[in-house]
Amino acid sequence: MRRVLVVGAGLTGSLCAALLRRAAAGPLHLALWDKAGDAGGRMVTANSPHNPRCTADLGAQYITCTPHYAKKHQEFYEELLALGILVPLTAPIEGMMVTEGDCNFVAPHGISSIIKHYLKESGAEVFFKQCVTQINLRNNKWEVSKETGSPEQFDLVVLTMPAPQILELQGDIVNLISECQKQQLASVSYSSRYALGLFYEAGMKIDVPWAAQYITSNPCIRFISIDNKKRNIGYKLSCQLSRPDDSPPQPFPGVWRGWIYSFQLRWLHCLSPECPGSSEESHLGSCFYVDLGFFCCHRSLLLVTLFSILWRETTWKKCFQLTVIFSCEI
């Protein structure tokens, strides 16, 4: 049985694995490794630790299909639409560039549901937190080493991780990549963003006319999305969170990816009206994109500033506390 390894659990890796499974003429052992803790790559969706059905997209927010790709990849779009993984985007997004002939789609269950669909179809053995460090050629087999665990051998290895990570690999692969290929890989540039996802308690409403908005007036914030509204599911997705009332404050978690100045948190607070106290079971996810290159504040200083604002504002104290997770991953 031939053994194939796909490195990277983003859109490219998951679709590649599914296509390999479709094209396999005989028995195939298919493995997929990713250094992250979940699938998605730049199409990641965060889940509330209180209810996995409460999600917020921290990667791609929607998919734009041009007429060229609608024709070239017609079978993929038809499949995802037929399964309900994608649906047409009908919610208003302020500031979105509209080009004639383009179609926009959203994923009702989160953008990472596309990746998870292809991973399931591939039947691959998926292993997370597996960081590849070396690739060597041993007896006509590719021996792949990782940070933890023993090396494993494969007949074929497909690399779908970002170009800088490929250039960091050690072993025989260093000599197998030509200088021209190295220059091409080194020339690949990436637009990096940090994302902040917030989950609100049941009954919370943000009274704005849009589902998402591109921001041009702020030096750091680039995009804001109210995920339920963006995905055309209103505020009805169940999230089992209780209102604190007179009980001890309950942690309503947020997912923090990056650094932000205190004045921006005050600005975000203006978008959050006081909790109405409704017992209706619902959830509201918000995603805030911020520009990576702008930040230069110290982490410890930021923590003090962040929590001083949260505890000074009565409304925030009643509604939720933020779980702060610093991440340098881009």
Query: Residue 330 and residue 41: Cα distance in Å, rounded?
Result: 10
CA distance 322 to 243: 15
What CATH number does domain 2-192+287-308+318-328 carry, 3.50.50.60, 3.20.20.70, 3.40.630.30, 2.60.120.650? 3.50.50.60
What pLDDT does 16 receive? 96
| pLDDT at residue 238, as a whole number | 29
Q: Whole-model pTM? A: 0.72
Residue 105 CB partners (closer than 8 Å, separation 6+): 62, 63, 65, 77, 80, 81, 86, 87, 88, 89
CA–CA separation, 303 and 318 (whole Å) = 20
Q: Taking a C-beta distance cutoff of 8 angstroms, is the pair 18, 121 a contact?
A: yes
pLDDT of 36:
94
Q: Where are the domains of the chain?
A: 2-192+287-308+318-328
In angstroms, the CA 117 to CA 120 distance is: 5
3-class SS letters over the chain: CEEEEEECCCHHHHHHHHHHHHHCCCCEEEEEEECCCCCCCCCCEEECCCCCCCEEECCCCCEEECHHHHHHCHHHHHHHHHCCCCEECCCCEECCCCCCCCEEEECCCCCHHHHHHHHHHHCCEEEECCCEEEEEEECCEEEEEECCCCCEEECEEEECCCHHHHHCCECCHHHHCCHHHHHHHHCCCCCCEEEEEEEECCCCCCCCCCCEEECCCCCCEEEEEEHHHHCCCCCCCCCCCCCCCCCCCCCCCEEECCCCCHHHHHHHHCCCCCCCCCCCCCCEEEEEEEEHHHCCCCHHHHHHHHHHHHHHCHHHHHHCCCCCCCCCCC
Give the pLDDT score at 234: 58
Q: Are 284 and 206 contacting, i.e. CB atoms less than 8 angstroms apart?
A: yes
Is residue 128 within 8 A of residue 37, CB to CB? The reply is yes
| Predicted pLDDT of residue 116 | 96
Q: What pLDDT is attached to residue 321?
A: 32
Residues in the chain: 330
Residue spans of the chain under pLDDT 70: 234-330
Joined together, the tokens standing for residue 94 give: 């302020």
What pLDDT is attached to residue 151? 96
